[in-house]
Amino acid sequence: MSLSPEQRREYRGIAHDLKPVIIVGDKGLTEGLQEELERALNDHELIKIKVASQDREARQEAVAALCEASGAELVQTIGKIAVIMRRAKKPNPKLSNLLRQKH
């Protein structure tokens, strides 16, 4: 599932005011981080991730690995912040960033 330019623009607008909910530190992609990522994507669908690495390629690899592991789509990356999205099977209207912005 690839996002159209219109969808990317819409999701970037929604994500603009969000704070990063996942922060990838020196330990990298640990099991606990993966579990937290799953929970965050199930709850919020559209989330920001901060990758603390100074190395640009390492950041890109970390974001790609997170997207691959979780089945999420990369919406955009700016510096150390990445915005990713994965639709939930049964989104929670109180938690989903996508549903909350529609109303």
Count structural domains, the chain: 1
**What is the model's pTM?**
0.91
The range of the structural domain enclosing residue 35 comes to 5-85
Q: Using one digit for the tens of pLDDT, what is the confidence trace for 18-76?
A: 999 999 988 888 999 999 999 999 999 999 999 999 999 999 999 999 999 999 999 99
At 100 the pLDDT is: 80
Query: Other C-beta atoms within 10 Å of 12: how many?
Result: 14
> 49, 46, 43: which is closest to 20 by C-alpha?
49
CATH code, domain with 24: 3.30.110.60
